[in-house]
Every structure is written in structure tokens, then in C-alpha cells.
Structure 1
Amino acid sequence: MDATTPARATASTAPRGRNPRGQGERLRTEIVDATLRLLDELADDQALSLRAVAREVGIATTSIYIHFADRDALVLAALEHCYADLLRAVDDAESGAADPVAALRARTALLGVWSREHPGLYKVLHESTLNRRRDMSFKEEMAKRTTTAIRRCMDAGLATRGDAEIVSLDLRTAVHGAVSLRVNEPELPWPPLDEQVDRFLVKLVGVPRAEG
């Protein structure tokens, strides 16, 4: 699943034949993709059933157990796959930036857009009790890259000098708070997310305000 792919289209529930020899990995990928589509709709991993996933793919429920021990293992694998795609998308977004500030702004903006387009996945990634039941340390990589992006701004003299890790944590807290409130209380009169995120960058990181 691409990080910016729109959520689920209607899937066929027709039974499928057995995968040819050597295509077990293909079936695993289809199961993961179906899980991500359903999680984005449900916004709750506890509401996900393996039967629903099997129906989405067009296989018997028992076929899922060939690849995943239980529902938690499936959800964890799906989220890790999703996060890897998101990391690549964020890196691509900042790769063409003209300077470190533009790169930081691009990666932060993409995270905001993704969260708005996939509120269900956002809730499962950050608000699910799975975070307490299973190791989700793969999420730490995004935090490390954000810290690196902030440090580049500081080293270039384009942001207020300070402890990049602390500033990164403050920025992540602010952005996640802004996104979470929008996901959970969408009826409130929120300002445009990109404008609010830019204020966070100016106030917390100390970069110049975006032009325009």
C-alpha cells in the first residue's frame, strides 16, 4: 500500500483459487493490503476480524494463519508495512527541497496530509492499545529522521540553536495533537492544518515563516 493511496475500494468477495507454487509471498501482501484498507475504515484494530480480512481477499480464514499467528501479529505487520511506505514518501517529499527548512516543512506537511487522508490508520498507529501490547519500535525511525531534519536547519543557521531532540519531541507532540484533535473532534472549526503546522515550525523550531 502506498502511503498516500486513498482508502478502500469495494473488493470482490468471490472465492479465489490456490496460489501457484512460489506465490505465497504474494498472498501475504494481499492480506496485509486488505488489512490496511479495513483498518482505515474501522479506525480500531479491535473491531477487525480475520474473517473480514479473509472475505476481503477472497480466501479461507485458515489461510491467514499460514502467514500470521493471530490478529495482533497481522495488524502489527500491516502497520509496519504502512509505516515503511510512509517513511519513503516523507523522504521523497523532502528530497527536492531547496534548503533544510524547506525539507523540514515538506516532510511535516506530508505527514499532515497523510493523517488527514487516513484518519483510521492514524488512530490505530498512535491511539490503539496495540502500542501497549506489542513492540512498535519501528515508529522510532520517523522521530529520528525528524530530529535529523531539525538539526540540519540548526547547523545551517536557519533555525534557533538548541537541543534538536527536545525540539523534535516538542514539534511531534504539537503536530500529533493537532491531527488527533481533528480526527477525534472533526466538527470543531479548525484552522487549515498546514497553517497551524507552519506556526509550530516557527514557534518551536525557530525557522522563518513560510512565504505567501
Structure 2
Amino acid sequence: MDDTTASATRRRPNARGRGDLLREDIVATATRMLDELADDQALSLRAVAREVKIAATSVYLHFPDRDSLVLAATQRCHEELVRLGDAADAAESNPGAGLRARILAQADWAESHPGLYKVLHESTVHRRLGMPFKEVMVQRTIDSVQRCMDAGIAPSDDATTVAIDLRTAVNGMLSQRINEPDLPWPPATEQLDRFLAKLVGIGRPG
């Protein structure tokens, strides 16, 4: 490749002081690649740099190693899941329907991004402790379950325990559907309604 070709394909630098834009480009590219790879160990900073059309050293200025970039990508995914769940919940008229919509939003995201869902739940990076952004989605579920109990839609119980049971069931269902697609799966909505009835104590909201 001659100098003219290299200049044509190289990413134009951001204006001075706008390195945050490059960081966002790097995270967005890594997130897309992780969805395709479905394995954080298969990602390399050099491969990300090639996709963004920058020198590998430019990636290292923002992320010292692969794990730090994977962590940033998983945080972005969690934040997106929280936004989608909040919007789905807010669009419903009662807390039971809101809880159901919140979880269906997560299920729809997992179906659209199976590779990322695997990284979120199977990568060694994501199993680390001390990541506050992971706690947000858990707390959202706890709060939704508590609202169902407060409204008399679900029997009174410890909302944290019920929410964790529910999340365990849902995450297991979604992971199994991704990892074992050939099983005779019933519709996800039917499984979710059984989880809500058995674990939370509510029927399908009208």
C-alpha cells in the first residue's frame, strides 16, 4: 500500500480535545465485534484498531488491555438493557404488566444480540466482582417485583429473593436458547408467564 492509499483509508483524527469521540468509536466497534465473535477472548485490540482505522497505539491510549475494553463494552450493554427495560416498564399501565414488559425487552435484546449475551454471562471479565453498573439492572428488577407486591398483584415476600430467583430463571432460559437452539423450545413468552406465575405469584397481566 503506497502513502496515498494509506492516507485514504486511515481514519481522520478527531479535533483537539475530542478524544472522547474516538473512545466512543472504539467501544462501539468492540461491542459490535463481540456480538459477532461471541467470545471476549477472541477479541484483540489490534483487530479493533483495524476496524476503526487507527493505529493500535491509539487504542492503548484509552484502554491498556483487552479486558478493560471488554469491560467498557459490557457496561454499555448493561446501560442499554436498563434503558430498554425502563422504557418498556413505563409504557405499561400496571406494575405486573411493567415487570413482564421489562423482562421481554431483555429477551428481545438477547435474541437480537446472542453473541453479546454470551459475553455478558459467560466471559471471565464479566464474572468479576465490584462492578456497580451490573447492580443497576438487578435493582430495577427488585423494584419492579416490590411494586407488584405493594399493588397486591403478587403475594408479599422478600422482593430481593424473588427477583433473584426470577432473574436466574430468565437468564438461564435465554442462555439455553442461545447455546442449545435445536431443543424444542416453547415460545419465550409462555416460559416467562410460567416464571412470573410460579416465582413471583402473578398471572399474565391483561
Structure 2 length normalisation: TM-score?
0.92
Of residues 95, 99, 102 in structure 2, which corresponds to 1:104? 99
Matches within 5 A, 1:134-149: 135-149=130-144
Q: Kindly indicate whether residue 198 of structure 2 is the aligned counterpart of residue 203 of structure 1.
A: yes
Instruction: Note the C-alpha offset of 1:17.
Output: 2.1
Q: Kindly indicate whether residue 58 of structure 2 is the aligned counterpart of residue 63 of structure 1.
A: yes
Q: Kindly indicate whether residue 155 of structure 2 is the aligned counterpart of residue 160 of structure 1.
A: yes
Q: Secondary structure of the equivalent of 2:61?
A: coil
Matches within 5 A, 1:10-159: 14-133=9-128, 135-159=130-154
One-letter identity of the residue aligned with 2:63: F
C-alpha distance after superposition, 1:156-212 (max 9, x if no partner): 10012111111111101110110010111111111111211111011110112245x
Residue 198 of structure 1 contacts residue 210 of structure 1 at CA under 8 Å; is this kept in 2?
no
CA distance in 1: counterparts of 2:129 and 2:41, whole angstroms:
14
CA distance in 1: counterparts of 2:64 and 2:116, whole angstroms:
21
CA distance in 2: counterparts of 1:51 and 1:194, whole angstroms:
41
CA distance in 1: counterparts of 2:19 and 2:126, whole angstroms:
28
Structure 1 length normalisation: TM-score?
0.89
Q: Kindly indicate whether residue 200 of structure 2 is the aligned counterpart of residue 174 of structure 1.
A: no
Instruction: Note the C-alpha offset of 1:104.
Output: 0.5
**Larger radius of gyration, structure 1 or 2?**
2
Q: Secondary structure of the equivalent of 2:62?
A: coil
Q: Secondary structure of the equivalent of 1:124?
A: helix
C-alpha distance after superposition, 1:25-82 (max 9, x if no partner): 1110000000000000001000001111111111111100111111111110111122
CA distance in 2: counterparts of 1:170 and 1:122, whole angstroms:
19
Go from structure 1 to structure 2 and tell me whether the alpha carbon gap of 1:63 and 1:134 turns closer, same or farther (over 3 Å shift). farther
| Ranges in structure 2 where 5+ consecutive residues have no aligned partner | 1-7
Match of 1:184 in 2: 179
Residue 45 of structure 1 contacts residue 124 of structure 1 at CA under 8 Å; is this kept in 2?
yes
Match of 1:6 in 2: none
CA distance in 2: counterparts of 1:14 and 1:147, whole angstroms:
49
Q: Secondary structure of the equivalent of 1:65?
A: helix
Residue 171 of structure 1 contacts residue 204 of structure 1 at CA under 8 Å; is this kept in 2?
yes
Comparing both structures, which one devotes a greater share of its residues to helix? 2
CA distance in 1: counterparts of 2:129 and 2:115, whole angstroms:
19
